[in-house]
Chains A and B, each alone.
Chain A
Amino acid sequence: MNRLLPLVVAVPLMGAALLVAVGRRVPRPVAEAVGGAVAAATTGLVVWLLLSRPVPDVEWVGGWTPVDGGPSVGIVLRAGPLALGLAALVSLLVVAVLVYSWRYFAEPPERQAGAFPALVLLFQAGMTGFVLTGDLFNAFVFFELMSVVAYALTGYRVEDPKAVQGALTFGVVNSLGAYFLLTGITLLYARTGELGMRAIGRRLDEQGGPDALVLAAFVLVLTGLLVKAAAVPFHFWLPDAHAVAPTPVCMLLSGVMVELGVYGVGRVYWFVFSGSGGIPAPDARRALVALGVLTALAGAVMCWLQRHVKRLLAYSTVAHTGLFLTGVGLLTPESTTGAALYVLGHAGVKAALFACGGILLDRYGSIDEHELHGRARRLPLVAALFVTGGLALTGLPPFGSGLGKAVTEEAGGTALTVLFVAVSAVTGGAVLRVAARVFGGLGARPTEEPSYETKGEEEEPETQGLLGRVPDSMLAVPAALLAASLAVGVVPGVAVAVGHAVDEALDTPSTAPPHWSVHGVLLGLLSTALAAALAAWSVLRPVPARPGAWTKPLRRVHSGHIGDYVAWLALGTTLLAALVLPGVLPG
């Protein structure tokens, strides 16, 4: 049964190869159907493995099982319910994206109808591989595979000047992060002679307490993963990439890829550095929670300031990954369970919101909140989906995002609860504000003034011309995604399964399964009420002549300049090292 595990990565790879080989000769519907079928087959396989008993755990690819106690040279896949669950989430979202993008693009590259589905399948292979691998070097390889495909997908519309610019920034910053990651992995190999995560952890523990080399390796590996997770100050590539990437790609980037960075951080910490030879928990916790809080606050403020709807959603992703990072960074099973549930609920909601944004872009040729003011009154269904998504983002019970938020809050204590309520209220409020203006035409029409920001007017629609009516597939996907997010919160079995999966992944004795508490429901309602109040306040107040001066420094930091972003990355690495340093100082 375990023998089927490598197929989770291999099937999409083979599907992509097939599409590249025959994509020239087949008509477009066939290529898209093949892509969808391969993705669906992979999803079926993952779900079947996840439901089988016992759940597959360890698989040495090609039978290179290490002789007991000796060094391992084979490639190990380490599944377990948590990794398989994430692989299932990735695969389900890939299927949703392929359905959403059915006949989506105006024109695929000339006589290459298979290009887009092939790239999406490669993306799926990279992400499932990253999730399942138990080997640090292979984690780097899969990290690069998903990154390179993501750059290509971001710059898919090569005729669009902004798209190529955003893809380039994305590419340079993420690749630099990947090389930091590889440097860290090499240092760990130099110290231990192992590449398997568990094996590295064991050898580090045998060699006594942490020293400067372990610290350097920890900081470098974490830098690479945090770039992917878009933690402040490594996050600058994300809004640029999301603003320009085709909408179906944004659904994948925001829905799962960014979260995989947080997953990687958790996995590397627990498997490699949590022992006596690694980084002491209080120091790792200080570093991760500090960066998480900073990310959540910066993301929320920048989200509120946007008028480009896709950028707004992108900053909301930054804010939420900050919350996930805080949850994982608390390094307790309860907080990790909460973060896992939150990721699960958030993936559906955020993908659905991007899908609605894509409908706006393709129906009206603009993604600017001010320009779209009142124009989308005749799309009641899209409006309903968008508002539902906004409410789910605030953590409204009984959505899965609300359950995840409540569980993480309970694990995090009072100060973090305030942060969680505030951040979800601001990001959800920004979405509700957009909904009120764009779909309801509420409030005064904002006046135009020159300003320092990306607006999103005069965008090219991604579909064949402007949509006359919205295709059913583009409406069904966000509806299904929101329903799935609702199911995460409503069906108790899901929360129990997630709790169990996290306990098993962390090797902790089983804790009480996550559930709704009165406390959590009330806090969820509170942040929804705050979000609604914020949205109402911003819509009803007179429109200010110019944006507040206090926002200027924060906006200037996001300069769109590659060099600045690289400098921030280096600064962030130093900051991370400073935060962890006390743990390795003697005495």
Chain B
Amino acid sequence: MSVLPYLVAAWLLLVGCLGLATSRNLIHAVGCLAVCQASTYVLLLAVGYRRGGTAPVHSDLRPGSRPLVDPVVQALCLTDVVVGATVTALLLALVIQVSKRHGTVVPDELSGLRG
């Protein structure tokens, strides 16, 4: 198994964090959070991958004829996608509301809560 997917996952997580830390727009920040989450998809799929393996769908497959990729990580990944969609949708809705109430989506201009 190549090490590349793991490096990609680590890169995505770090670059997402960097984007979040330096973001000047809340929509951009929520996007960066989605990038961080994308790293977990890549990592999960890399962990479950088998060279030459096929999708874990048994209907047209003679048992034992071919290797399968790990079905558990696929289930985890699907769950992760659902969680991610929920979180992103809720946060974007909050950003819209911030924009309506504060008239800005620039984090530097939101100073209602300090100290």
Chain A residues engaging chain B, CB cutoff 8 angstroms: 73, 137, 141, 144, 148, 151-152, 155, 158-162, 164-169, 171-172, 175-176, 178-179, 182-183, 186-187, 189-190, 195, 239-240, 243-244, 305-306, 452-454, 555, 558-564, 566-567, 569-570
Closest to A189 in B: B47
Contacting pair B83 A566 (CB below 8 A)? no
Q: Complex formed: what's the CA distance from A306 to B73 in Å?
A: 47
Contacting pair A186 B47 (CB below 8 A)? yes
Chain B residues engaging chain A, CB cutoff 8 angstroms: 9, 13, 17, 20-23, 26, 29-30, 33, 36-37, 39-40, 43-44, 47, 72-73, 76, 79-80, 83, 86-87, 90-91, 94-95, 97-98, 101-102, 107-108, 110-115
Contacting pair B113 A172 (CB below 8 A)? no
The listed residue with most B CB atoms (<10 A of its CB), out of A137, A144, A168, is: A168
Enumerate chain B residues within 8 angstroms of A162, measured Cβ to Cβ. Answer: 112-113
- Given A148-B86, A158-B97; A563-B115 close (CB under 8 Å): no
Q: Complex formed: what's the CA distance from A175 to B16 in Å?
A: 13
- Given A144-B83, A566-B20; A561-B107 close (CB under 8 Å): yes
CB pairs A–B below 8 angstroms (9 shown):
A158-B97, A164-B98, A165-B98, A165-B102, A165-B112, A165-B113, A171-B87, A186-B76, A189-B73
Contacting pair A175 B80 (CB below 8 A)? no
- Given A453-B114, A570-B21; A155-B36 close (CB under 8 Å): no
Enumerate chain A residues within 8 angstroms of B22, measured Cβ to Cβ. Answer: 563
Enumerate chain A residues within 8 angstroms of B91, measured Cβ to Cβ. Answer: 151, 168, 171-172, 175
Contacting pair B112 A183 (CB below 8 A)? no
Known: A165-B102, A172-B29, A560-B111. 20 other contacts (CB 8 A): A137-B79, A165-B112, A166-B113, A171-B94, A172-B91, A176-B33, A178-B83, A179-B40, A186-B44, A186-B76, A195-B72, A452-B115, A454-B112, A454-B114, A558-B115, A561-B107, A562-B26, A562-B107, A563-B23, A569-B17
Contacting pair B13 A183 (CB below 8 A)? yes
Q: Complex formed: what's the CA distance from A305 to B114 in Å?
A: 12
- Given A165-B102, A452-B114, A555-B114; A179-B21 close (CB under 8 Å): no
Q: Complex formed: what's the CA distance from A378 to B115 in Å?
A: 31
Query: Which residue of the partner chain, among A183, A189, A454, A564, contacts B113 with CB atoms under 8 Å?
Result: A454
Enumerate chain A residues within 8 angstroms of B112, measured Cβ to Cβ. Answer: 161-162, 165, 454, 560
Q: Complex formed: what's the CA distance from A324 to B33 in Å?
A: 30
Q: Give A240 Cβ to nearest chain B Cβ, in Å.
A: 5
Q: Give B113 Cβ to nearest chain A Cβ, in Å.
A: 4
Q: Complex formed: what's the CA distance from A171 to B37 in Å?
A: 14
Enumerate chain B residues within 8 angstroms of A195, measured Cβ to Cβ. Answer: 72
Q: Complex formed: what's the CA distance from A570 to B15 in Å?
A: 12
Q: Complex formed: what's the CA distance from A172 to B27 in Å?
A: 11
Query: Which residue of the partner chain, among B73, B80, B95, B113, contacts A244 with CB atoms under 8 Å?
Result: B113
Closest to A161 in B: B101
Query: Which residue of the partner chain, among A165, A179, A239, contacts B39 with CB atoms under 8 Å?
Result: A179
Enumerate chain B residues within 8 angstroms of A141, measured Cβ to Cβ. Answer: 79, 83
Q: How many A-B Cβ pairs are below 8 Å? A: 134
Q: Complex formed: what's the CA distance from A175 to B76 in Å?
A: 17
Enumerate chain A residues within 8 angstroms of B114, measured Cβ to Cβ. Answer: 452-454, 555, 558-560
Closest to A243 in B: B113
Query: Which residue of the partner chain, among A152, A175, A176, A186, contacts B43 with CB atoms under 8 Å?
Result: A186
CB-CB nearest 4 A-B residue pairs:
A453-B115, A161-B101, A555-B115, A190-B47
- Given A168-B98, A186-B40; A175-B87 close (CB under 8 Å): yes
Enumerate chain A residues within 8 angstroms of B9, measured Cβ to Cβ. Answer: 183
Contacting pair A176 B20 (CB below 8 A)? yes
Query: Which residue of the partner chain, among B29, B47, B72, B102, contacts A562 with CB atoms under 8 Å?
Result: B29
Q: Complex formed: what's the CA distance from A428 to B79 in Å?
A: 43
Contacting pair B72 A73 (CB below 8 A)? yes
Contacting pair B107 A563 (CB below 8 A)? yes
Contacting pair A148 B87 (CB below 8 A)? yes
Q: Complex formed: what's the CA distance from A539 to B20 in Å?
A: 42
Contacting pair B36 A176 (CB below 8 A)? yes
Q: Give B23 Cβ to nearest chain A Cβ, in Å.
A: 6
Query: Which residue of the partner chain, among B21, B37, B87, B108, contacts A566 with CB atoms under 8 Å?
Result: B21
Enumerate chain B residues within 8 angstroms of A186, measured Cβ to Cβ. Answer: 40, 43-44, 47, 73, 76
Closest to A239 in B: B113
- Given A73-B72, A452-B115; A182-B40 close (CB under 8 Å): yes
Q: Give A540 Cβ to nearest chain B Cβ, in Å.
A: 25
Closest to A145 in B: B83
Closest to A159 in B: B101
Enumerate chain B residues within 8 angstroms of A169, measured Cβ to Cβ. Answer: 113
Closest to A190 in B: B47
Q: Complex formed: what's the CA distance from A366 to B61 in Å?
A: 68
- Given A558-B114, A559-B114; A175-B72 close (CB under 8 Å): no
Enumerate chain B residues within 8 angstroms of A151, measured Cβ to Cβ. Answer: 90-91, 94
